[in-house]
Structure 1
Amino acid sequence: MDFFKRKEPAAPAPAVQTSNAGHTQFASSTPVKFNSVEFRDGVQSLLATRVTTEDMIPLLKRMDAVGYDSMEMWGGATFDVCIRYLNDDPWNRVRTFKHFMKNTPLKMVLRGQNLVGYHAYPDDIVEKFVECAANAGIDVFLIFDALQDLRNCETAFRAVKKMGKKIEGSVQYNLSPFHTTEKFVENALEQQKMGAELIHVEDMAGLMTPPAAYELISALKAALDIPVHLHCHCTGGMAEMCYWEAIRAGVDGLDVCVSSLGMGPGHPPIESFIAGLRGTPRDPKIDLAQFNELNEGFQYLRTRRKEYESRLIGVDVGCLQHQIPGGMLTNMENQLRSMNALDRLPEILREVTRVRADMGYPPLATPSSQMCGAQATSNVMMGERYKTVSKEMRDYCRGMYGCPPGDISPELMKKALGDEKPITCRPADLLEPGWEKAKTEIGDLAHSDEDVLTYALFPNIAVNYLKNRYETKE
């Protein structure tokens, strides 16, 4: 089906009634900006990231014409999935988007010192990765650390500054005894001092309530001199209400998807806010009619990848307890389905809550979400808590991922480390430089610096990926 070749013009969007906006009080009168997340977090949350660059190309020119402030289309799980499952060059994906996106800045999600992987990499690898990503076409680097330990963001911030690109700092929203509005503001202020030009509030698990959104955005706008954007998932059923309260509080931008790739564990639809803001001081003045064919295209994409689609169609208020992000929930469903153990998911989600408390209440962003989810799954499937502890969880307890918000439980520390003491320094300070070592190890199989980086990041799968890539071309 070629869904963009139409002989007849698309039907116009229905007229949207405007009402007297005087009843709504806005803390800002500037138009709301929108950041597109369909091609990164959208497909990660709803389709386990199993979408190729080729799948995306037919949509790009129309997406570029919408009027987005930026497009998040790289980073997160996209890099790993490209080389592990799709045989799809992640670096060429950036160049392909840059070719088609003439008006919209491209954004990537960078996991601080972990880049697009699941552990800390040496500083020289971080610097080289940022350089290559910027040269490929990334304009905005959304940088975060799963534990909000900003020591793990310092090298990435410096590298992005050196390349003259935009730094978007990130606050990982979650619920715990150690996460308060005051702490979030304090962390954001520190990132502003470090050079962030924008602060992104990430509600990755759909936990935020409307009053909390108003309170946090109001506090950040009062404290910061830079714009504030909000990112919510619809898992808990409150994201759209949170966005409206954030708009009232003066938020500068929102992360959205088109409606046919939204909701569930994904994101609020842009069309709802274009319509809802019509005639108000914050009206973005974006044409609704252009989404007719876009929605047809994204619906077709979902149909093509339906075997990976999340089973969460409506709302999961259980996220307020387990706090698992949308993308991880989809992947967990797929993994349990492959093990014929999908019926154990509710039990595992309950165990996630206990394991997260034992870990000192980290935000469940990558990689702490994967560690917590894997440990909870192991605990349930083996019928005994911490019968086995993964290498990643041991390193977490050692402090190799940074400092958690709270204390790690004595039971978990004992199982993971025995009598060993955790480190207190910046984790990357213990790592030897990695660039020259990676170049030597990969040798002639690497045809570019990008190939060397791919190997440095994922040595266990990069060799076969690179062999397949170049043998196919030959």
Structure 2
Amino acid sequence: MSREIKFSLLYRDMWQSSGKYVPKVEQLEKVAPAIIDMGCFDRVETNGGGFEQINLLFGENPNVANRRWTQPFNDAGIQTHMLERALNGIRMSPVPADVRKLMYKVKKLQGTDIARSFCGLNDPRNLENSIKFAKEGGMISQAALSLTISKVHTVEYYTKLANTLIEMGADEICVKDMAGIGRPAFIGKIIKNIKTKHPETIVQYHGHAGPGFSMASILEAARAGVDYVDVAMEPLSWGTGHADVLAVHGMLKDAGFKVKDINMKAYMEVRSMTQDFMNDFLGYWISSKNRQMNSLLIGSGLPGGMMGSLMADLDTNLKSVNKWLEKRNKPVLTQDDLLIKLFEEVEYIWPMLGYPPLVTPFSQYVKNLALMNVTQLIKGRERWSMIADNIWDMIIGKSGKLPGELAPEIIHLAETHGKQFYTGVPQDLYPDDLDHYRKEMKDNNWDFGQDDEELFELAMHPEQYRAYKSGKAKQDFEEELARKKEAKMKKDCKEVPAAVAGAYEPKSMIIDINGEKFNVGISYGDVAPAASTNGAAAPAAPAAAPAPAATGAVSEVVAPLEGKFMLTKDNTETALKVGDAVKEGDLICYIESMKTYNAIVSESAGTVTAILKANGDNVDEDDVLVQLG
């Protein structure tokens, strides 16, 4: 009898590999019954990763969304799974152990069956608590191997890692090919080694389509003994996403594997609804380039999930660079120009940084550092001149052990910045902190929620949760959406040829006289365009009044990049205030950009006379943030 291979639909990752956002809860509830009716899925990825932060950005309660979204699958007997980042939980920065522990309890009670846990550095010390806490919370622990290709990431390396994780108690293993750059034979050997030594351990394969290996990789994984394959479906398959279930189904069936039949009527319903969600608003953040395969990704190794948001954000970086170039009368860059420069810089710096697997958050760290280097070099500055705190933590070992060795240049750079290398257990650096957030909940008279889920949300995503509670998050999202719609409308108008006076009038007509048809030309004579106040040129705006002259010596701290102005990055820091004395090199604030906190320091000493931005405000490059007297 042929061996069965089961499918898992990545309805979360489908969206986040294509763009910036995921559907709202009403949309998810609408599509769930049709996904179930397709009849071919034994698992659905429902949450995890950035899912809950996106709920908060919408102004949605992520706990309510998760319960309502997972319920239909729970009722149908389809397992649900989430993605979590070990030490970083479901955010981009390390999480205290008590908050991590609460996460599994909350997610299981909300309806999530399986925790897929990965460490971006493949450090087993970071995954040990994930395995332990998931099982204590009643979840199935699926430990992931973050796959990449380098001189240190060999078949033997991943086989040993899988053995270690299974010995730690992992129920399942996911071979997570997050960039889709794993060569098919390489993947097959890893899975075969795991199944040979641990035949009862379930293995699931996750791979992205972008570089072009995915179909061959899935077939090799199937032949090697894989149990589940992650798939997507149109209109969000292929490109930076994943292989389409129809193609995978046909390939595996032809190869002699047993696969469940697909209800094509339901498939078309899900396909249609997904397109409707894109047309509604989600498509505003999906670049057309994300729908294309791109073998350039083989070299850079950047993951599909990150490419989705990268292409959505790249326009902002391009505008910043081109704004600087235009001011200096230099040739501007195209998006492709900047993308190629970025890919080349990633390839250059990745080995120097110790080959961290390019998966969240370390893919973002390497990409962000590469992009900072590119923009600084364009502006005539030095490489490595701006490194965010999160990136430093990766370099010096606070996030875990790097797979490879740091380049001497990077070690020297760390030493000149006074950084101390850390070799201990990363979790020890982040002590329990739930009591702090309990106090904040009580002080604000906020409801702790069912099973302490609101407490968990504040502790996991403090800044986003506060913005959600205040209503600022929803307001900011609606303003961003309005700008996207306006920009699209203007673009559409430019693509429509301007109307010419008289162009709407017929130039000929057919006249029927007693059954005989005559084609008659029509002339209207010279038509002068009608005067229109709507088309009149607007009066010139009055010149801006000059700023009053400064009465004393004032220095300014300006934003070196676009992002959100943040006075602190966590509750261990004290926010700057007017009247504070600062020295040269003192930390002033942060710019949160591309999911990292970039520290902004003072270039001079003085006293804070004004803080010109509010916490969470969007800022542009060269905006004045703080004034010193």
TM-score (structure 2 length as normaliser): 0.67
User: 1:416 offset after TM fit, Å?
Assistant: 3.4
Q: Aligned ranges for residues 113-152 of structure 1 at < 5 Å?
A: 113-152=87-126
- Structure 2 partner of 1:324: 302
Q: CA deviation at 1:250?
A: 1.9
Shift of 1:47: 2.3
> Where does 1:113-262 land on structure 2 (aligned, <5 Å)?
113-225=87-199, 226-262=201-237
Deviations 1:129-178 (A, max 9, x none): 11111111111000110000011122221111112221111011101111
> Which residue pairs with 2:388 in the alignment?
390
Deviation at 1:452? 2.1
Q: Which residue of 1 aligns with 2:315?
A: 337
d(CA) in 2 for partners of 1:459 and 1:183? 37
Go from structure 1 to structure 2 and tell me whether the alpha carbon gap of 1:34 and 1:125 turns closer, same or farther (over 3 Å shift): same
1:426 is aligned to 425
Letter in 2 for 1:251: V
* Aligned-partner Cα distance in 2 for 1:217–1:234: 19
CA distance in 1, matches of 2:408, 2:439: 42
Moved more, 289-298 or 276-285: 276-285
- TM-fit CA distance, 1:381: 0.6
Q: Does 1:80 align with 2:30?
A: no
Q: Which residue of 1 aligns with 2:405?
A: 407
Residue aligned with 2:351, SS: helix
Alignment counterpart, residue 264 of structure 1, candidates 220, 239, 252: 239
Question: Matched residue of 2:235: which SS?
Answer: helix
**What SS does structure 2 have at the residue aligned with 1:46?**
coil
Do the aligned residues in 2 keep the contact of 1:172 with 1:365 (CA within 8 Å)? yes
Mapped partners of 1:129, 1:47: distance in 2:
26
Unmatched segments (≥5 aa) in structure 1 = 1-27
SS of the counterpart of 1:192? Answer: helix
The answer to whether the 8 Å contact 2:210/2:304 transfers is yes
Alpha-carbon distance between aligned partners in 2 of 1:249 and 1:344, rounded to the nearest angstrom: 40
How many equivalent pairs are there?
Answer: 443
| Structure 1 position 442, deviation (Å) | 3.9
Query: Deviation at 1:327?
Result: 1.8
Tell me which stretches of 4 or more aligned residues in structure 1 moved more than 3 Å. Answer: 277-281, 469-472
Residue from 355, 373, 376 that aligns with 1:361: 355
For residue 437 of structure 1, give the secondary structure of its aligned residue in structure 2: helix
Aligned partner of residue 387 in structure 2, secondary structure: coil
For the residues of structure 2 that align with 1:127 and 1:462, how far apart are their CA atoms? 19
Q: Which amino acid aligns with 1:439?
A: R
CA offsets per residue over residues 238-273 of structure 1, 9 Å max, x none? 101111122122211100012322000100111112
The range that moved more, 204-213 or 383-392, is 204-213
> Following the alignment from structure 1 to structure 2, what is the Cα–Cα distance between the partners of residues 280 and 408?
44
Q: Is 1:461 the counterpart of 2:433 in the alignment?
A: no
2: CA distance, partners of 1:154 / 1:446: 33
Q: Which deviates more from structure 2 when the two are superposed, residues 356-365 or residues 272-281?
A: 272-281
Q: Choose which of 292, 301, 306 in structure 1 pairs with 2:283.
A: 306
**Among 3, 10, 15, which residue is 1:43 paired with?**
15
Contact 1:446 1:466 in 2 (8 A): no
Give the structure 1 partner of residue 487 of structure 2.
Answer: none
1:446 Cα deviation (Å)?
3.1
**Counterpart in 2 of 1:95?**
67
Q: Which amino acid aligns with 1:54?
A: E
The structure, 1 or 2, with the larger RCO (C-alpha pairs under 8 Å, 6+ apart) is 1
Q: How far apart, CA to CA, are the structure 1 residues paired with 2:387 and 2:313? A: 19
1:56 aligns with 2:28: yes
Whole-angstrom distance in 2 between the partners of 1:417 and 1:257: 46
More strand as a share of residues: 2
Q: In the aligned structure 2, how far is the partner of 1:91 from the partner of 1:324?
A: 31
1:367, distance to aligned residue in structure 2 (A): 0.9
How far, CA to CA, are the matches of 2:441 and 2:415 in structure 1? 33
Indicate conservation of the 8 Å contact 1:35/1:256, yes or no. Answer: yes
Q: Using the TM superposition, name which of 338-347 and 167-176 deviates more.
A: 338-347
Q: Secondary structure at the match of 2:471?
A: helix
- 1:213, 1:259 → 2: CA distance? 25
Looking at structure 1, the residues matched to 308 and 238 of structure 2 have their Cα atoms a distance apart, in angstroms, of 13
Determine whether 1:374 maps to 2:368.
yes
C-alpha contact 2:18 2:291 (8 A) present in aligned 1 = no
Greater C-alpha Rg: 2
CA contact (8 A) 2:20 2:286 kept: yes
CA distance in 2, matches of 1:208, 1:247: 15
| Correspondence for 1:24 | none
Partner of 2:291, secondary structure, is coil
Give the 3 Å change call, closer, same or farther, for CA 279–325 of structure 1 in structure 2: closer
Alignment partners' CA distance in 2, 1:94 and 1:319: 33
Query: Which digits, 9 at most, give the CA deviation of each residue in 1:193-235, with x for residues without a partner?
Result: 1111111111111102222232222222212230211111011
Could you tell me which residue of structure 2 aligns to residue 293 of structure 1?
Answer: 269
CA apart distance, 1:398: 2.3
One-letter amino acid of the counterpart of residue 301, structure 1: F
The Cα of 1:301 is off from its aligned counterpart by 2.3
Say if 1:279 and 1:359 are closer, same or farther in 2 by CA, change over 3 A: closer
Rounded to whole Å, the distance in 2 between the matches of 1:335 and 1:278 is: 40
| 2:70 aligned partner, one-letter code | K
CA distance, structure 2, for counterparts of residue 49 and residue 320 of structure 1: 25
Deviation (angstroms), 1:451: 2.2
Equivalent residue number for residue 23 of structure 1: none
Partners in 2 of 1:456 and 1:164 — Cα distance? Answer: 21
Q: Is the 8 A contact 1:47 1:302 kept in 2?
A: no
Partner Cα separation in structure 1 for residue 415 and residue 68 of structure 2: 46
Distance 1:67 1:288, change over 3 A: closer
In structure 2, the residue matched to 1:3 is none
CA positional deviation for 1:288: 4.1
Structure 1 residues 53-105: Cα deviation after superposition (integer angstroms, max 9, x where no partner)? 2222211012123242211111111122221x322222112201232222211
Partner of 1:71: 44
Tell me the amino acid that sits aligned with residue 313 of structure 1.
R
Identity rate, percent: 25
Partner in structure 2 of residue 34 of structure 1: 7
Shift of the 312–261 alpha-carbon distance from structure 1 to 2, 3 Å rule, reads: closer
Give the C-alpha shift of residue 284 in structure 1: 1.3
Q: Is the 8 A contact 1:31 1:283 kept in 2?
A: yes
Three-state SS of the structure 2 residue aligned to 1:254 is strand
Q: Matched residues in 1 for 2:192 and 2:300: separation?
A: 27
CA distance in 1, matches of 2:464, 2:254: 52
Deviations 1:7-26, CA, capped at 9 Å, x for gaps? xxxxxxxxxxxxxxxxxxxx
Residues 122 and 428 in structure 1, CA contact (< 8 A), matched pair in contact too: yes
SS of match in other structure, 2:175 = strand
Farther off after superposition, 333-342 or 263-272: 333-342
